[in-house]
C-alpha cells in the first residue's frame, strides 16, 4: 500500500467528480495522534487526520490538509490530473499559460483535490516529463483512444471514468509512442490507478496494458488501413496521425495527401521554442546567450532575426531562473517576430495594433521605437489587455504604449484615432500553431472557420478606417489556412479598391515571400509556427 503521510484536519470528501462512488471496503491510512493506522470504511472517501500543524509557517494556527504520497511516480500523477483539467476546460496544455507554472502550489492543490493526495514537489526533470507526457498524450488522443477501445471489453470508452481513461492514455502513450520499458510503465500506471482509484481499477489497467505490450511486441497493433473512398482514407489518416477528420480533409483538399501527412507529423513533434531578448531593457541576444550558457540550456541563434534564440529543451529552466519574470526576454515564435518585420516599426512612428493582447507583437514593436513614438494597443478582452499592460511595465516599454479596451468595430465609429501604420493581427483558427497548442486541434471545430472568416472581414473593414491616406494596413494571422489568409485579403481588396498589395519582399527573407507578395511561414518548410502577413497600402 502507498506510503501516506497525513497532516491536517479530519475531512471526508464525497464530492470528487473523478471517482465513482463504491460500496465496498476500502483501505485508508489514517492516524491517531501522529501515528498512522489503517482503517476500513464503506465508500471511497478520503480521510485525513488532525495533525494541528501550520504549513504556512505563519504560526497562525491555520490547519491545512495534506497527504503526501511518495510511492506513485509524481510526474504521472500530476500528468493525469493536468490532462483531466485540460479536457474539462480548466487549463491549457501550453505550460506558459499555467498560472501555477508547473508544480506550483496551485497545481498541487488540484492534484490533492482530484487524487486525494499530494506528490512530492516536482523537480525540473519531473516537470519535463509532465510536459512531454501531457503534450504527447493530448496530441495522440485520437490514436490512443482507438487502441484503447480496440483492447477494452467495452468499446465505448466515452463512459469510462475520466481518471481511469487518462491513466490508460498515459500508459498507452508511454509504451507505443515513447517506447519506454513496457513492464515498468505497466507497474507504475497500475500503482497510480490502485492508489488514486481502487484496486479493481489497477487490475483493469494491468490487464489492458499487458495486452498492449504483447500486441506491440508481436507488431500486431490494431491500426486502421488507409483505403476506400476519400472520406474513409481521411478517417484512417486522422486516426493514424491523430487529428480531427475535418482538418485532414481540409488539408488534403488544399495541400494534397503527402503534404497533409507531413503537416500532421510536424504537429505531433514536441515543439521547440524561441526566446526574444528584450532590447528595451538593454538586454541583448549576446546577454541572453551568456545566461543560457550559464544555465546549460542548449540553444541556436535564429537565422532570421537578430534578437531571437531557439531552444528545444530547457524552457522550464529559463522560467525558473526568472528571465521571463524579470522582463529580460520573452517566449515568442520567430514567425511572430517576422510579422513585426513586415510591419517594420521605426522610432517616431505611431502604430495602431488593432487586436493587440496579450501583447507579443505590441511589445516587440514598442522595443523598436527606442522611446520615440507610440503604439496604441486595442483589444476587446480586458483580462488579456491587463496582461499586456503589466508586461509592458516589466519590459520597460509602457511609456510608448497606450492600451485601449474596445471592440475595434465600434471604436472606429467613435474616435478620431488614425495612423499611417495599422496592424490587424486577427483572431483566427490557430491552425499554424497546433504543435505548440496541443489541445487546440480538439477544441477547434469546422463551424468555427465560417464565423472566424466573417469576423476577420469585419475587423479588416474596421481597421481600414484607421489607416490614413497613403498609409499601411498589415493583416496577419497565425493560421496556415488559405481561406483565412489570401482569400480574406482578396475579398478585402474587392470591398476596398482604394487599397493595394505592397510586397513584403525586402522586409523578410525571400524564402518567406509568396508569389502574391505576402509573408507566409510554413511549419513543414521553415520549422516555425505557421503564420501569414500582408502589407496593404491605402491610396493617397
Ligand atoms: C491573435 S490574438 C492577438 C495576439 C496579439 N497580437 C499578440 O501578438 O500577442 C487576437 C486578439 O483579438 C482580440 N479581439 C477579438 N475580437 C476583437 C474585436 N472585435 N475588437 C478588438 N479585439 C478583438 C482578442 O481578444 C485577441 O486578444
Sorted by sequence, the CB contacts under 8 Å of residue 282 that are 6+ apart come out as: none
Scan for cell 510554413, then name that residue.
Answer: 522
Give the C-alpha separation, 288 to 309, whole Å: 8
Q: 213: how many CB neighbours lie within 10 A of its CB?
A: 17
Cα torsion 391, 392, 397, 399: sign:
negative
Taking only the tens of pLDDT, the chain with its 540 residues reads 333 333 222 222 323 334 433 333 233 222 333 333 222 222 222 222 222 222 233 333 333 456 888 889 999 999 999 999 888 775 444 333 443 344 456 778 888 888 888 888 888 888 889 989 999 999 999 999 999 999 998 778 988 999 999 999 999 999 999 999 999 999 999 999 999 999 999 999 999 999 999 999 999 999 999 999 999 999 999 999 999 999 999 999 999 999 999 999 999 998 999 999 999 999 999 999 999 999 999 999 999 999 999 999 888 899 989 999 999 999 999 999 999 999 999 999 999 999 999 999 999 999 999 999 999 999 999 999 999 999 999 999 999 999 999 999 998 766 689 999 999 999 999 999 999 999 999 999 999 999 999 999 999 999 999 999 999 999 999 999 999 999 999 999 999 999 999 999 999 999 999 999 999 999 999 999 999 999 999 999
Tell me, using a 6 A CB cutoff, whether residue 534 lines ligand 1: no
Give the C-alpha separation, 342 to 519, whole Å: 8
Determine the distance separating the centroid of ligand 1 and the alpha carbon of 362, expressed in angstroms.
11
Scan for cell 505611431, then name that residue.
Answer: 350
| 357 belongs to an annotated ligand binding site | yes
Give the C-alpha separation, 205 to 193, whole Å: 7
Give the C-alpha separation, 201 to 103, whole Å: 26
Phi-psi map region of 129: left, alpha, beta (phi>0 left; psi -120 to 50 alpha): alpha
Assess whether 388 and 261 both reside in one domain. no
Give the C-alpha separation, 349 to 419, whole Å: 9
Catalytic residue set = 478
Tell me, using a 6 A CB cutoff, whether residue 333 lines ligand 1: no
The DSSP 8-state label assigned to residue 381 in this structure reads -
Tell me, using a 6 A CB cutoff, whether residue 230 lines ligand 1: no
Tell me, using a 6 A CB cutoff, whether residue 337 lines ligand 1: no
Q: Which residue has the CA at smallest separation from atom 25 of ligand 1?
A: 381
Assess whether 501 and 364 both reside in one domain. yes
Backbone angles phi, psi at 205, to 5 degrees: -60, -45
Determine the distance separating the centroid of ligand 1 and the alpha carbon of 369, expressed in angstroms.
22
Phi-psi map region of 371: left, alpha, beta (phi>0 left; psi -120 to 50 alpha): left
In a domain, 133, yes or no: no
Contact 15, 75 (CB under 8 A): no
| 90 belongs to an annotated ligand binding site | no
Tell me, using a 6 A CB cutoff, whether residue 432 lines ligand 1: no
Assess whether 384 and 281 both reside in one domain. no
In a domain, 81, yes or no: yes
- Grouping H, G, I as helix, E, B as strand and the rest as coil, residue 106 is helix
10 Å CB burial of residue 272 (0-12, 13-18, 19+) is: middle
Assess whether 360 and 295 both reside in one domain. no
Read out DSSP for 142-189? HHHHHHHHHHSSSS-GGGS-HHHHHHHHHHHIIIIIS---HHHHHHHH
| 481 belongs to an annotated ligand binding site | no
Contact 536, 502 (CB under 8 A): yes
10 Å CB burial of residue 286 (0-12, 13-18, 19+) is: exposed
Sorted by sequence, the CB contacts under 8 Å of residue 126 that are 6+ apart come out as: 74, 75, 78, 103
Contact 133, 174 (CB under 8 A): yes
Backbone angles phi, psi at 484, to 5 degrees: -90, -15
| 358 belongs to an annotated ligand binding site | yes
What's the pLDDT at 15? 35
Read out DSSP for 438-454? TTHHHH--HHHHHHHHH
pTM to 2 decimals? 0.85
Determine the distance separating the centroid of ligand 1 and the alpha carbon of 363, expressed in angstroms.
14
- Grouping H, G, I as helix, E, B as strand and the rest as coil, residue 32 is strand
Tell me, using a 6 A CB cutoff, whether residue 343 lines ligand 1: no
Q: Provide the strand spans (E) within 382-466.
A: 401-405, 419-425
* Consecutive H or E run containing 493: helix 486-495
What's the pLDDT at 113? 84
Q: Which residue has the CA at smallest separation from atom 1 of ligand 1?
A: 427
Q: Which residue has the CA at smallest separation from atom 10 of ligand 1?
A: 427
Assess whether 260 and 381 both reside in one domain. no
In a domain, 180, yes or no: no
350-353 and 419-425 strand pairing: parallel
The DSSP 8-state label assigned to residue 505 in this structure reads B
What's the pLDDT at 279? 94
Contact 235, 224 (CB under 8 A): yes
In a domain, 156, yes or no: no
Assess whether 338 and 466 both reside in one domain. yes
Residue 428 Cα: closest atom of ligand 1? 1
Determine the distance separating the centroid of ligand 1 and the alpha carbon of 339, expressed in angstroms.
15
Assess whether 294 and 398 both reside in one domain. no
* Consecutive H or E run containing 537: strand 531-538
10 Å CB burial of residue 36 (0-12, 13-18, 19+) is: middle
Contact 410, 378 (CB under 8 A): no
What's the pLDDT at 13? 30
| 355 belongs to an annotated ligand binding site | yes
Of 73, 96, 122, the one marking the end of a domain is: 122
Give, for ligand 1, the residue of 96, 97, 336, 355 to mutate: max count of ligand atoms closer than 8 Å to Cβ.
Answer: 355
Give, for ligand 1, the residue of 379, 404, 463, 485 to mutate: max count of ligand atoms closer than 8 Å to Cβ.
Answer: 379
The domain containing residue 364 runs over which residues? 334-538
| 11 belongs to an annotated ligand binding site | no
Q: Which residue has the CA at smallest separation from atom 18 of ligand 1?
A: 407
The ipTM of this complex is 0.99
Tell me, using a 6 A CB cutoff, whether residue 407 lines ligand 1: yes
Determine the distance separating the centroid of ligand 1 and the alpha carbon of 513, expressed in angstroms.
25
Assess whether 253 and 284 both reside in one domain. no
Assess whether 263 and 301 both reside in one domain. no
**Cell for 409?**
468595430
- Structural domain count of the chain: 4
Give, for ligand 1, the residue of 96, 345, 351, 357 to mutate: max count of ligand atoms closer than 8 Å to Cβ.
Answer: 357
What's the pLDDT at 458? 98
Sorted by sequence, the CB contacts under 8 Å of residue 66 that are 6+ apart come out as: 6, 7, 8, 48, 55, 112, 118
Assess whether 249 and 347 both reside in one domain. no
Backbone angles phi, psi at 245, to 5 degrees: -60, -40
Assess whether 241 and 111 both reside in one domain. no
Closest Cα partner for 256 from 291, 221, 230?
Answer: 230
Of 331, 363, 380, the one marking the end of a domain is: 331
Of 73, 94, 122, the one marking the end of a domain is: 122
CATH code, 513: 3.40.50.150
Amino acid at each position: 500500500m502507498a506510503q501516506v503521510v497525513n497532516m491536517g484536519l479530519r475531512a471526508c470528501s464525497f464530492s470528487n467528480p473523478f471517482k465513482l462512488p463504491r460500496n465496498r471496503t476500502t483501505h485508508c491510512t489514517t492516524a491517531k495522534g501522529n501515528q498512522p493506522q489503517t482503517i476500513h470504511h464503506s465508500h471511497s472517501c478520503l480521510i485525513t487526520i488532525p495533525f494541528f500543524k501550520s504549513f504556512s509557517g505563519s504560526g497562525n494556527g491555520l490547519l491545512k490538509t495534506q497527504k503526501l504520497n511518495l510511492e506513485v511516480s509524481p510526474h504521472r500523477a500530476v500528468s493525469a490530473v493536468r490532462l483531466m483539467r485540460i479536457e474539462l476546460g480548466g487549463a491549457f496544455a501550453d505550460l506558459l499559460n499555467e498560472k501555477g507554472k508547473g508544480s506550483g502550489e496551485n497545481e498541487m492543490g488540484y492534484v490533492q483535490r482530484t487524487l486525494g493526495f499530494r506528490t512530492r514537489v516536482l523537480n525540473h526533470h519531473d516537470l519535463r516529463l509532465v510536459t512531454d507526457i501531457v503534450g504527447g498524450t493530448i496530441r495522440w488522443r485520437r490514436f490512443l483512444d482507438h487502441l484503447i477501445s480496440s483492447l477494452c471489453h467495452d468499446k465505448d470508452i466515452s463512459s469510462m471514468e475520466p481518471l481511469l481513461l487518462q491513466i490508460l492514455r498515459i500508459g498507452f502513450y508511454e509504451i507505443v509512442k515513447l517506447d519506454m520499458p513496457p513492464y515498468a510503465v505497466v507497474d507504475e500506471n497500475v500503482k497510480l490507478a490502485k492508489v488514486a482509484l481502487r484496486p479493481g481499477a489497477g487490475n483493469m489497467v494491468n490487464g489492458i496494458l499487458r495486452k498492449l505490450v504483447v500486441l506491440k511486441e508481436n507488431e500486431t497493433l490494431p491500426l486502421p488501413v488507409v483505403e476506400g473512398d476519400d472520406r474513409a482514407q481521411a478517417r484512417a489518416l486522422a486516426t493514424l496521425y491523430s487529428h480531427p477528420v475535418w482538418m485532414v480533409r481540409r488539408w488534403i483538399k488544399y495541400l494534397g495527401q503527402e503534404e497533409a501527412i507531413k503537416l500532421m507529423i510536424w504537429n505531433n513533434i514536441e515543439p521547440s521554442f524561441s526566446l526574444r531578448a528584450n532590447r528595451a531593457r538593454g538586454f541583448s541576444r549576446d546577454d541572453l546567450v551568456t545566461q543560457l550558457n550559464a544555465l546549460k540550456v542548449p540553444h541556436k541563434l535564429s537565422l532570421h532575426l537578430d534578437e531571437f534564440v531557439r531552444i528545444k529543451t530547457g524552457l522550464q529552466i529559463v522560467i525558473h531562473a526568472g528571465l521571463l519574470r524579470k522582463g529580460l526576454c520573452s517566449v515568442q515564435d520567430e514567425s511572430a517576430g517576422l510579422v513585426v518585420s513586415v510591419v517594420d516599426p521605426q522610432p517616431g512612428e505611431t502604430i495602431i495594433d488593432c487586436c493587440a493582447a496579450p501583447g507579443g507583437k505590441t511589445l516587440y514593436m514598442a522595443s523598436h521605437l527606442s522611446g520615440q513614438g507610440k503604439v496604441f494597443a486595442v483589444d476587446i478582452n480586458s483580462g488579456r489587455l491587463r496582461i499586456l499592460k503589466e508586461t509592458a511595465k516589466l519590459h520597460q516599454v509602457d511609456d510608448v504604449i497606450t492600451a485601449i479596451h474596445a471592440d475595434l468595430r465600434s471604436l472606429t465609429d467613435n474616435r478620431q484615432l488614425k495612423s499611417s501604420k495599422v496592424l490587424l493581427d486577427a483572431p483566427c483558427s490557430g491552425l499554424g500553431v497546433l504543435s505548440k497548442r496541443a489541445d487546440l486541434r480538439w477544441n477547434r471545430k469546422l463551424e468555427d472557420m465560417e464565423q472566424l472568416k466573417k469576423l476577420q472581414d469585419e475587423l479588416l473593414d474596421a481597421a481600414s478606417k484607421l489607416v490614413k491616406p497613403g498609409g499601411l494596413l498589415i493583416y496577419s494571422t497565425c493560421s496556415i489556412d488559405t481561406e483565412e489568409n489570401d482569400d480574406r485579403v482578396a475579398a478585402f481588396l474587392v470591398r476596398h479598391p482604394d487599397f493595394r498589395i505592397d510586397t513584403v519582399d525586402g522586409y523578410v527573407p525571400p524564402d518567406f515571400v509568396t508569389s502574391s507578395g505576402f509573408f507566409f511561414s510554413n511549419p513543414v518548410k521553415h520549422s516555425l509556427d505557421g503564420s501569414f502577413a500582408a502589407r496593404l497600402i491605402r491610396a493617397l
